[in-house]
Amino acid sequence: MKERFFSGAQPTGSLHIGNYFGAIKNWVQLQDKYECIFGIVDYHAITVSYDPKEMKNRILDCAISYLASGIDPEKSTLMLQSLVPEHTELAWILNTVTPLAWLERMPTFKEKASQHSQNINAGLLDYPALMAADIFLYKSVVVPVGEDQLPHLELTREIARKFNKTFGYTFPEPKEIVGKGARILGLDGVNKMSKSLNNCIYLNDSPEVIWKKLSTAVTDTNRKRRRDPGNPEICNLFSMHKLVSKKEEIEMIKKGCQTAEIGCLDCKKILAENMSRKLEPIREKQNMLWENLQDVEDIIREGSNRARIIARQTLREVKKKIGLDL
């Protein structure tokens, strides 16, 4: 039997290259090795303000991006969190073993609270307890995530330890899997690329849009003039080259930047071309899937039913352990 894991993304907007290179690309590669459950975590997404009329489309957009990136519903389970109520039920139970101070020290909470100062709700603080429930319901042994999620995963392990110690061994402590694109900065060159920050290259951006965005993206800010040598190691665009360009091209750009033989605009042109080429098959598949929405909805519903069978079993075991066993 294969080991299992759960990982997911929030339907807070269209998925971007940070989501792809940080998480989804790894998911695709792990499908043969593990039994994978990929969630669209909509209960997480409602912890920030949103328009209810848009949510269904965002959920479909997220599912379509998973499928277009190579998630295969024959191999893996694609599910919607809110269709499996065991997620919120287990989250409540985990709340009772999670000290408030553990939640308050999370950098992501502090970040989101400052971004959403008008809406610092309890759900925002409690996010990691729900995330731990997502992971535990499927007894995940690993979780492929981007670097920003590492504190959450550490907290998840602490919650597992505390629960196991109090009620007897129940949950494995999941290890992280982080890939080459674990932290992609946004086009501003400062913040993490985030759906909610409008600093993204989206998986469905056309070559024209990609060029428009890259042409104004922030590079090595110390390189003021074309003839100044640059430092590729601190340039966000060079880190993107590492994800989409060929080895020889990366070397050429590195040297060219360090010696000022090539300027930022030349570098951006090559990047825009390579990025567009890399994303083209995903964008095409997305367009095709938008024409077949019924199939996409069926995949989500069927996957959620499948996930629920496992989730129900785990929750039954948990309730028994904590004495809620009538």
Per the CB < 8 A criterion, the answer to whether 297 and 266 are in contact is: no
Q: Which residue among 25, 139, 195, 268 is the active-site one?
A: 195
Contacting ligand ATP (CB under 6 A), which of 71, 129, 132, 145? 145
Number of residues that bind ligand ATP (CB under 6 A): 20
Q: How near is the Cβ of 301 to ligand ATP at its closest, in Å? A: 21
Contacting ligand ATP (CB under 6 A), which of 4, 116, 192, 312? 192
Contacting ligand ATP (CB under 6 A), which of 39, 73, 174, 181? 181
| 264-290 helix and 247-258 helix, angle to the nearest 10 degrees | 150
Contacting ligand ATP (CB under 6 A), which of 79, 91, 155, 184? 184
194 touches ligand ATP by CB under 6 A: yes
Q: Is 33 a catalytic residue?
A: no
230 φ, ψ to 5°?
-110, 170
Per the CB < 8 A criterion, the answer to whether 181 and 21 are in contact is: yes
Per the CB < 8 A criterion, the answer to whether 308 and 84 are in contact is: yes
Q: Which residue among 162, 192, 242, 278 is the active-site one?
A: 192
22 touches ligand ATP by CB under 6 A: yes
Contacting ligand ATP (CB under 6 A), which of 94, 193, 253, 275? 193
Per the CB < 8 A criterion, the answer to whether 160 and 168 are in contact is: no
Q: How near is the Cβ of 135 to ligand ATP at its closest, in Å? A: 12
Per the CB < 8 A criterion, the answer to whether 149 and 107 are in contact is: no
Contacting ligand ATP (CB under 6 A), which of 5, 6, 14, 19? 19
Q: Give 3-state DSSP helix, strand, coil % of the chain, rounded to 5.
A: 60, 10, 35
Q: How near is the Cβ of 62 to ligand ATP at its closest, in Å? A: 8
Compute the distance between CA of residue 153 and CA of residue 127 in angstroms, rounded to an integer.
12
Question: Across the strands, what pairs with 176?
Answer: 143
Instruction: Tell me which H or E stretch contains 159.
Output: helix 150-167
Q: How near is the Cβ of 191 to ligand ATP at its closest, in Å? A: 9
Q: How near is the Cβ of 179 to ligand ATP at its closest, in Å? A: 9
Please report where in the chains the tokens 């907007």 appear, as a residue: 13
Position closest to ligand ATP via CB: 22
Q: Is 180 a catalytic residue?
A: no
Q: 23 or 93: whose CB is closer to ligand ATP?
A: 23
Residues 225-264 that bind ligand ATP (CB under 6 A): none
- Within 8 A by CB and 6+ apart from 305, the residues are 83
204 touches ligand ATP by CB under 6 A: no
CA end-to-end span of the chain, whole Å? 32
Please report where in the chains the tokens 């825009």 appear, as a residue: 272
Q: Which residue among 53, 56, 75, 112 is the active-site one?
A: 112
In the chain, how many H helices and how many E strands? 14, 5
**How is residue 319 written in tokens?**
């309730």
CA nearest 60: which of 322, 298, 319, 236? 298
Per the CB < 8 A criterion, the answer to whether 310 and 138 are in contact is: yes
Q: Is 112 a catalytic residue?
A: yes
Query: If you count them, how many residues does the chain have?
Result: 326
275 touches ligand ATP by CB under 6 A: no
Q: How near is the Cβ of 15 to ligand ATP at its closest, in Å? A: 8
Q: How near is the Cβ of 266 to ligand ATP at its closest, in Å? A: 25
149 touches ligand ATP by CB under 6 A: yes
Residues contributing to the site for ligand ATP (CB under 6 A) = 9-10, 12, 18-19, 22-23, 145-146, 148-149, 181-184, 192-196
Q: What positions carry a catalytic annotation?
A: 112, 192, 195
